[in-house]
């Protein structure tokens, strides 16, 4: 690697190692949730009827089914999520956000957004934010060439609107 390539690589590795811990620390302190658990609650909160098939939930949280199943089991133990057979396909399992899970998600949201802004968004200019989006897209094309993870399909909105995500396929 060139000196510039190595410097860029070392910084990327540092960010990918430090950011998850910083997000976990804030969420664990404020809501007794890891960042991944918060992401699961967020996807369910944004799902129709607060419900998603586990396969779709795995895609939207960029997780494997075994990892997701383990985390959903922990969330079930806290009565934040419940699992049940999918009525349309008995071979599939659905996860649903409970009232307690929705309340915790709503309570944790403002602090989490504040942390994301403080750690990432506010550190970047609008141009750098666009570059970050483009860099993430270029890397995801290599890491997820089939576009299985929802982050691969994420698109920015116009004029400061929230980012959008392409809908998952009905079979997910």
- DSSP H stretches of helix in the chain: 3-31, 35-45, 54-60, 65-77, 99-119, 126-143, 150-153
Q: Which two tokens stand for residue 104?
A: 């915790």
With 0.85 as the threshold, say if the pTM is over it.
Answer: no
Per-residue CA distances from 117 to 79, 110, 120 (Å) = 29, 11, 5
CB within 8 A of 116, min separation 6: which ones? 23
75: left (phi over 0), alpha (psi -120 to 50) or beta: alpha
Q: Which two tokens stand for residue 2?
A: 């060139």
Give the Cα separation of 140 and 123 in Å (integer).
22
pLDDT (average), residues 64-78: 96
Asked if pLDDT for residue 106 goes beyond 60, the answer is: yes
Cβ atoms 81, 64 nearer than 8 A: no
CATH-assigned architecture of domain 3-123:
Orthogonal Bundle (1.10)
User: What is the percent of the chain with per-residue pLDDT over 90, rounded to a whole number?
Assistant: 75
pLDDT tens profile 2-49? 999 999 999 999 999 999 999 999 999 999 999 999 999 999 999 999
Report pLDDT for 29: 96
* CA 71 and chain centroid, separation: 13
Domain parsing of the chain, residue ranges: 3-123, 125-172
Report pLDDT for 95: 97
Cβ atoms 111, 28 nearer than 8 A: no
Q: Confidence band (pLDDT; 50, 70, 90) for 69?
A: very high
């Amino acid at each position: 690697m060139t000196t510039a390539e190595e410097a860029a690589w070392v910084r990327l590795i540092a960010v990918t190692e430090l950011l998850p811990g910083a997000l976990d620390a804030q969420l664990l302190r404020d809501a007794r949730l890891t960042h991944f658990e918060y992401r699961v609650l967020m996807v369910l909160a944004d799902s129709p009827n607060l419900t998603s098939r586990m396969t779709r939930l795995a895609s939207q949280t960029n997780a494997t089914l075994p990892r997701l199943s383990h985390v959903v089991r922990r969330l079930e133990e806290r009565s934040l999520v419940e699992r049940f057979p999918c009525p349309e396909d008995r071979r599939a399992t659905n996860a649903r956000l409970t009232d307690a899970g929705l309340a915790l998600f709503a309570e944790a949201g403002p602090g989490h957004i504040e942390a994301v802004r403080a750690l990432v968004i506010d550190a970047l200019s609008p141009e750098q934010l666009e570059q970050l989006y483009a860099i993430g897209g270029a890397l995801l094309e290599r890491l997820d060439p089939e576009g299985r993870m929802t982050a691969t399909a994420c698109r920015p909105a116009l004029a400061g609107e929230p980012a959008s995500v392409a809908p998952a396929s009905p079979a997910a």
